[in-house]
Amino acid sequence: MTIKAGDILSAREAILLAEAEAVDLSPPIEIPPIPPEAHPNFTRDQKKHVELIENIQKLKRERKAIILAHNYMPKDIQDIADVVGDSLLLAQKGKESNATVLVEASVRFMQDILAVMKKPHQTVLAPDLGALCSLAAHAKPEKVLEWKEAYPDGIVISYVNTDIRIKAISDYCCASANSPKVIRYATIHHPDVPILFLPDVYLGLYAADILKKAGESIDRLWLMMGACHVHDRIKPSHVEEELRKNPGAAVVAHSECSCVSSCIQKIASGKTPEALMQIRSTQGMIDFVRNTPSDTVIMATEVGNIYPIEKAIPGKRIIPASKEAICAFMKQNTLEKVYASLRDLKYEITVDRELAERARIPIEKMLAIV
């Protein structure tokens, strides 16, 4: 039988196939073109830019609004945002906020979380409805329901990059920042039962490593063959090439990258000290860059994530493992669309009440286990 993206396999089989790149993990949804205003090298006419910022600030005051922006956003959106962070931080800050309008420049699965957690007086807005996620699109509820039927005592841990319908049938939800803690929590509190982790097979590989380090067998772990098309394309060869050009540089890789396995092996073999190579979450990369003794850091992540790190830690030289690692979905958000969103109160994100009640349970766990 041919294994396809979205299939659920035992962790051992999934890891072998992922390492051999034997399954086509291409995005199951169309990748939109990047608007010129969101391109990393775009510069706007200065006068227009100032006008746009002033208009956004004015509307923010009038609407009692805040802007939440993911780390992968274009720089100009990050510069005017009230909060910049990864999916976990945005969910936490969105939940805490009492603002009347929450504009979140991110992708749909994150905006859905705000819509589930929002207070009755709040409105959640997305600047662009085309901002989806290729990783989330790999996970189909039917596949998860089939697995649950086969393993009725099993538990499901879904990564935050999933559709709200997947969260509604999951026991736990986690973000890259707290995936090790959630995975450990779930394995300790549910001994001996099958565990399905989805949808990212590379993060699953990292999850398996966490279990092994805790002295647990990975025999009860199941993984879905899913991947983010941006991180999947950051290969071990990209990291090797940059290391050759920058001897002595440190390396930090996001746990969704396809170079994760080779990084884990290097660290485990003792060839590279942990101070110079680690797997980290979007947010956790900041701490690594701050603490590593090396002045140069190769970052295997979406290129937008370099900007908040350069801002937070000036003086370190940050090199992307791949300059091509740009998420076109995230880049559907532009400053112009953030302005239009605030001006016209579009596009409002809502979640069906019954679905929201079920999805709220694993989301609350994600916010609690940090």
Q: Which is nearer to ligand SF4, 128 or 302 (CB)?
A: 302
Three-state SS for the chain is CCCCCCCEEEHHHHHHHHHCCCCCCCCCCCCCCCCHHHCCCCCCCHHHHHHHHHHHHHHHHHHCEEEEEECCCCHHHHHHCCEEECHHHHHHHHHHCCCCEEEEECCHHHHHHHHHHCCCCCEEECCCCCCCCHHHHHCCHHHHHHHHHHCCCCEEEEECCCCHHHHCCCCEEECCCCHHHHHHHHHHHCCCCCEEEECEHHHHHHHHHHHHHCCCCCCCEEEECECCHHHHCCCHHHHHHHHHHCCCCEEEEECCCCCHHHHHHHHHHCCCCCCCEEEECCCHHHHHHHHCCCCEEEEECCHHHHHHHHHHCCCCEEEECCCCCCCCCHHHCCHHHHHHHHHHCCCECCCCHHHHHHHHHHHHHHHHCC
Q: Which of 68, 73, 133, 173 binds ligand SF4 (CB under 6 A)?
A: 133
Residue 134 in contact with ligand SF4, rule: CB under 6 A: yes
Q: Which of 69, 327, 349, 366 binds ligand SF4 (CB under 6 A)?
A: 327
Residue 289 in contact with ligand SF4, rule: CB under 6 A: no
Q: Which span (133-141, 145-153, 315-323, 339-347) binds ligand SF4, by CB under 6 A?
A: 133-141
Q: Which is nearer to ligand SF4, 143 or 231 (CB)?
A: 231
Laid out side by side, the sheet with 101-105 consists of 83-85, 65-70, 101-105, 123-125
Q: Which is nearer to ligand SF4, 133 or 260 (CB)?
A: 133
Q: Which of 206, 288, 329, 339 binds ligand SF4 (CB under 6 A)?
A: 329
Per-residue tokens: 246: 């920058």
Q: Which is nearer to ligand SF4, 229 or 337 (CB)?
A: 229
* Pattern 241-260, ligand SF4, x by CB under 6 A: --------------------
Q: Are 292 and 210 in contact (CB under 8 A)?
A: no
Q: Which span (88-96, 128-136, 148-156, 216-224) binds ligand SF4, by CB under 6 A?
A: 128-136
Residue 285 in contact with ligand SF4, rule: CB under 6 A: no
Residue 230 in contact with ligand SF4, rule: CB under 6 A: yes
Q: Which span (53-61, 127-135, 182-190, 244-252) binds ligand SF4, by CB under 6 A?
A: 127-135
- What angle do helix axes 179-189 and 201-213 make, rounded to 10 degrees? 60
* Rounded Cα gap, residues 330 and 142, in angstroms: 27
The amino acid occupying position 251 is V
Q: Which of 5, 56, 330, 335 binds ligand SF4 (CB under 6 A)?
A: 330
Q: Which span (6-14, 50-58, 90-98, 129-137) binds ligand SF4, by CB under 6 A?
A: 129-137
Laid out side by side, the sheet with 277-280 consists of 277-280, 250-254, 296-300, 317-320
Q: Which of 107, 207, 303, 335 binds ligand SF4 (CB under 6 A)?
A: 107
Residue 161 in contact with ligand SF4, rule: CB under 6 A: yes
Q: Between residue 12 and residue 51, which ones bind ligand SF4 under the rule CB under 6 A?
A: none
Min CB(300)–ligand SF4 separation in Å: 12
Residue 221 in contact with ligand SF4, rule: CB under 6 A: no
Number of residues in contact with ligand SF4 under rule CB under 6 A: 13
Q: Which span (4-12, 94-102, 265-273, 325-333) binds ligand SF4, by CB under 6 A?
A: 325-333
Q: Which span (33-41, 263-271, 327-335, 342-350) binds ligand SF4, by CB under 6 A?
A: 327-335
Min CB(352)–ligand SF4 separation in Å: 23
Q: Which of 155, 195, 203, 228 binds ligand SF4 (CB under 6 A)?
A: 228
Query: What residues line the site for ligand SF4 (CB under 6 A)?
Result: 107, 133-135, 161, 228-231, 302, 327, 329-330
